[in-house]
């Protein structure tokens, strides 16, 4: 006999652009929101009884309506407002999880000054916040997606095990490139998520730049250690780091050397290194 196991549902990719029209200067927030509710939805699945199924269309409307009523500062706060909105209003819901992603826009400089209402797109890097509300328990996770970095030296990969399928050559000097997906959680509440985000990002970039990397794993751990050391509010940080291989082109057939200068950037296959660093 069949029975319902874990389940949940919601609305994904709700695209919200909010313009706050302050005097002489507009603020622009470009957000994408996803909502997921969990709870006792057995009647809906088994019998097709929708009496407890809040439509995902209503979730979408709620995003827009709350965005109008709430001042959006840190994306963590907006995610929290949404996540804690749903359970009290929907008795069968026992857990709500909301993710907010933000796309950065920079003010266009005109005559040396940042323009009050015209913007040019930043990088594809996305700020991310996920808030999970379950009864009185509210957990916040912050992060960044697509933080793309590359260093042209200060990275090697040597001393690894060899077997009959090994062809890779050891190198003490290679290009290291990745598109970081990072997530961190907090040991404290009552904190400024925006300020910690700025600091954590800066520490990761600086560590990536200055670290004498012996592997992607080595760099991941070094970044995590540095963040934990200098961000006491953070209690754990998780990295997912695709190794975007840059292969040295063999120019010898053309009578040319290649002193770590000419590379082909490849998309697939890629290494994928994942690690959590905790206190």
Which positions from 42 through 71 interact with a copy of itself, judged by CB under 8 A?
Answer: 44-58, 60-62, 64-65, 67-69
Q: Is 95 in the site for a copy of itself (CB under 8 A)?
A: no
Question: Do 207 and 223 meet the contact criterion of CB atoms below 8 Å apart?
Answer: yes
User: Could you say which of 18, 26, 32, 56 is catalytic?
Assistant: 56
Q: Which is nearer to a copy of itself, 11 or 181 (CB)?
A: 11
Q: How far is the CB of 135 from a copy of itself (least distance, A)?
A: 21
Between helix 216-230 and helix 193-210 the angle, nearest 10°, is 140
Q: How far is the CB of 49 from a copy of itself (least distance, A)?
A: 7
Cα–Cα distance, 38 to 55 (Å, whole number) = 13
Q: Of the candidates 22, 135, 160, 189, which one interacts with a copy of itself according to CB under 8 A?
A: 160
DSSP symbol at 99: E
Active site residue 45: no
Active site residue 56: yes
Which positions from 162 through 201 interact with a copy of itself, judged by CB under 8 A?
Answer: 163-168, 175
Torsion on CA atoms 172, 175, 178, 184, rounded to nearest 10: 50
Burial (CB count <10 Å: 0-12, 13-18, 19+), residue 201: middle
Q: Which is nearer to a copy of itself, 55 or 187 (CB)?
A: 55
Active site residue 32: no
Q: How far is the CB of 275 from a copy of itself (least distance, A)?
A: 4
- CA distances 158 to 13, 48, 168, 174, Å, are 43, 59, 10, 11
- Which two tokens mark 186? 């907090």
Q: Catalytic positions, please?
A: 11, 56, 245
């Amino acid at each position: 006999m069949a029975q319902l196991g874990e389940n949940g549902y919601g609305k994904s990719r709700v695209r919200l652009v909010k313009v706050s029209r302050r005097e002489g200067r507009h603020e622009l927030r470009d957000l994408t929101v996803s909502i997921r509710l969990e709870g006792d939805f057995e009647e809906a699945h088994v019998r097709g009884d929708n009496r407890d199924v809040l439509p995902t269309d209503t979730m979408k409307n709620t995003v827009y309506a709350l965005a109008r009523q709430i001042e959006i500062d840190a994306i963590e706060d907006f995610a929290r407002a949404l996540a804690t909105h749903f359970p009290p209003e929907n008795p069968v819901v026992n857990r709500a999880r909301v993710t907010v992603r933000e796309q950065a826009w920079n003010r266009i400089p005109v005559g040396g000054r940042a323009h009050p209402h015209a913007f040019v797109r930043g990088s594809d890097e996305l700020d991310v916040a996920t808030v999970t509300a379950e009864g009185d328990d509210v957990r916040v996770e912050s992060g960044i997606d697509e933080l793309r970095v590359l260093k042209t030296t200060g990275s090697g990969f040597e001393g690894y095990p060899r077997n009959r399928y090994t062809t890779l050559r050891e190198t003490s000097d290679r290009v290291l490139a990745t598109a970081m997906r990072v997530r961190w959680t907090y040991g404290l509440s009552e904190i400024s998520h925006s300020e910690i985000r700025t600091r954590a990002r800066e520490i990761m970039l600086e560590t990536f730049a200055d670290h004498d990397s012996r592997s992607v794993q080595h760099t991941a751990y070094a970044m995590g250690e540095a963040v934990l050391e200098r961000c006491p509010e953070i209690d754990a940080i998780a990295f997912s780091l695709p190794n975007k291989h840059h292969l040295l082109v063999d120019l010898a057939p053309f009578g040319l050397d290649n002193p770590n200068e000419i590379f082909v950037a490849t998309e697939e296959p890629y290494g994928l290194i994942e690690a959590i660093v905790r206190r």
